[in-house]
C-alpha cells in the first residue's frame, strides 16, 4: 500500500465562508474555509488555505508506480479556486478532463502558469463556483524505491 498526502492550495472569494467537499475514490473529506482574496485564475498560493488529504492507495496501474484516483470537489457557500496541488511524497497530476456539473462552464488551466513573475508560476488551477462540482481523474506517481 502506498501512503502519501495530497495538498490542495485553495482561495475563497470574499463575502462568505466556503465548505469544500472532496471525494477521492469515494473517501469523503469536508473543509470549512474563510475568505482569502478576490482571486483570479493566476492567483498565487501565498495566503491560500492548504487542504491536506491522506491517501492510502492499494492497486497501481500495471507495470508502473502510478495510481489512478477519481476526484470530486464541490464548493458550497462561496466560490473556490484550487490554485495549486502537490504530494508530500511522489507527484500528483490531473490526467482526466475536468468536468463540471454546469453545462458549458469549463474554465481551467491544468497546464500551469508561465511568465516572468515566479509568484504566479505553478501547476495549474481549477475554478469552482458556489454550488458547483468538478470531477476528474488524477494520477499519483510514487517515488521509485532504490
Residues 6+ apart with CB under 8 A from 107: 41, 127
Please tell me the predicted confidence (pLDDT) of residue 45.
Answer: 81
**pLDDT tens-digit map of 18-60:** 999 999 998 999 999 999 987 665 677 888 999 999 999 988 8
**pLDDT tens-digit map of 112-144:** 444 444 444 445 678 899 999 999 899 999 886
For the chain, what percentages of helix, strand and coil (3-state, to nearest 5) are there? 0, 50, 45
Grid coordinates belonging to 27: 473517501
For 35, phi then psi, to 5°, come to: -60, 150
Reduced to 3 states (helix: H, G, I; strand: E, B; else coil), residue 118 is helix
Please tell me the predicted confidence (pLDDT) of residue 42.
Answer: 62
pLDDT tier, 100 (very low <50, low <70, confident <90, very high otherwise): confident
Grid coordinates belonging to 8: 490542495
Predicted TM-score of the model (pTM): 0.84
Amino acid at each position: 500500500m502506498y501512503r502519501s498526502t495530497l495538498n490542495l492550495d485553495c482561495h475563497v472569494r470574499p463575502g462568505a465562508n466556503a465548505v469544500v467537499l472532496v471525494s477521492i475514490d469515494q473517501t469523503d473529506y469536508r473543509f470549512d474555509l474563510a475568505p482569502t482574496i478576490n482571486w483570479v485564475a493566476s492567483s498565487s498560493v501565498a495566503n491560500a488555505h492548504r487542504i491536506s488529504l491522506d491517501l492510502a492507495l492499494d492497486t497501481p496501474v500495471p507495470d508502473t508506480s502510478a495510481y489512478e484516483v477519481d476526484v470530486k470537489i464541490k464548493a458550497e457557500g462561496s466560490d473556490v479556486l484550487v490554485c495549486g496541488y502537490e504530494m508530500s511524497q511522489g507527484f500528483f497530476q490531473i490526467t482526466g478532463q475536468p468536468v463540471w456539473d454546469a453545462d458549458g462552464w469549463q474554465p481551467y488551466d491544468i497546464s500551469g502558469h508561465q511568465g516572468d513573475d515566479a509568484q504566479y508560476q505553478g501547476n495549474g488551477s481549477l475554478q469552482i463556483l458556489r454550488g458547483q462540482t468538478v470531477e476528474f481523474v488524477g494520477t499519483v506517481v510514487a517515488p521509485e524505491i532504490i
